[in-house]
Structure 1
Amino acid sequence: MSEKQFNDLSSLAAYLPSRRSGRPRNMVAPGPSDAAIEDIVATAMRTPDHGKLAPWRIISVAQDQRDLLAQGFTQAYLKEKPDAGRLELEGIENMAHEAPTLLVLLSSPVASSKVPLWEQELSCGAFAMNILHAAHSLGFVGGWITGWPAYNDDVRDLFGGAPEKIAGFLYLGTSNIELVERPRPELKEILSFWTPAARD
């Protein structure tokens, strides 16, 4: 390994833990340009993918499409909860308008494949994480949100259809507040080293 590669890897090892999730309501312009979004998604495509199935799709919702998306959210919510109150509806509408950039991530499994569905869904989650890391590497903050719209079939049908599922809404932009470290579990609670049982 060359000295340059070593230095790059050392920088990367220090850089990856610096990523923090941001709240979409605290994201302001600038967000990634269309060209930057393409770079982010191209980077995320290096996700582990058993069978080379690419069981994920990403859809960018432009700023001038947010009102239409909010209408879709509201119609779907009222269909499910016709007596919804004003504050509920405002919260649903806000989800469509937050952050400069909104990417809708769909888990898009390949049913004909021998690769188990669970593995395809895991790959989709890894794809989402790589989107966030790629955005972070370009200086943007990101947040991966689900909430009610992610689990509603009518909202899903705005972007695709069964058997696809919305894996999340990925919001990208610039944080208008300083990001702070959140509590993390103790490493010893997560990491252990296997000790095989002794055999007689």
Structure 2
Amino acid sequence: MDAITLLLERRSCSALTAPAPEGEALEAVLKAAFRVPDFRQLRPYEFILAAGDGLDRLGALLEEAAKQSGKSTEIVNRAYRMPHRAPLVIVVAARHRPNALVSRFEQQLTAGCAVMSMQLAAVAQGFGGIWRSGWPMFDRGLHTALGLEEEDQIVGFLYLGTPLQPPEKPLSIVESKDFTRWL
């Protein structure tokens, strides 16, 4: 698949199974993150990978975070299973690097770009993925459990694996003119 086709036809895929990227394929996914815009080369991110038993450990952290933050019984009961929707989950955290020229927000944007770049690298290699967010992204107890600092921020959970079926095509074509204007 050429780059323009990849960019124009990329779709999230939530129905994922094994295998997930591993070995050289996973290394390519991770290296794609290092090519995103990163003013001053601060590398303001960390990737926490969970596969196999790691999915159980991540699920237990999510379950405990849900309990500690007073989530509903339904959310607490679902939390443990959340990471098991894919064979590989990459928690992407923006790790704040104090810098007079690069704001925390700009560093978070860099980490967000890393998520998208990794998903594109996975899709380019025949895998599928989905960038998930939700309450865990903002739960400070989960941040602490993952060893993140107060000024750090989870920017997403990248679920990767092999699509159970081809991703659906977009229902409608978005016209760029509907979202742009010239000065």
Q: TM-score, normalised by structure 1?
A: 0.83
For structure 2, the residue ranges without an aligned partner over 5 or more in a row are none
- Counterpart of 2:112 in structure 1 is 125
Residues of 2 paired with 1:14 and 1:62: CA distance? 30
Residues of 1 paired with 2:35 and 2:23: CA distance? 19
Residues of 2 paired with 1:121 and 1:67: CA distance? 27
Q: Is the 8 A contact 2:55 2:89 kept in 1?
A: no
- Aligned-partner residue type, residue 9 of structure 2: S
Partner of residue 37 from structure 1, selected from 26, 44, 66: 26
- Aligned-partner residue type, residue 143 of structure 2: R
Residues of 1 paired with 2:153 and 2:105: CA distance? 13
Q: Is the 8 A contact 2:17 2:86 kept in 1?
A: yes
Shift of 1:147: 0.9
- Aligned-partner residue type, residue 60 of structure 1: L
For structure 1, the residue ranges without an aligned partner over 5 or more in a row are 1-7, 195-200
Over the aligned positions, Cα root-mean-square deviation in angstroms equals: 1.8
- Counterpart of 2:159 in structure 1 is 171
> Secondary structure at 2:121's aligned position in 1?
helix
Shift of 1:162: 1.8
- Counterpart of 1:65 in structure 2 is 54
Shift of 1:191: 2.3
> Secondary structure at 1:181's aligned position in 2?
coil
> Secondary structure at 1:30's aligned position in 2?
coil
Q: TM-score, normalised by structure 2?
A: 0.90
CA offsets 1:41-69 (integer angstroms, 9 cap, x no match): 11221101111111111111121122222
Residues of 2 paired with 1:148 and 1:184: CA distance? 30
- Aligned-partner residue type, residue 159 of structure 2: Y
Residues of 2 paired with 1:136 and 1:171: CA distance? 12
> Secondary structure at 2:39's aligned position in 1?
coil
Q: Between the two proteins, what is the percent identity of the paired residues?
A: 28
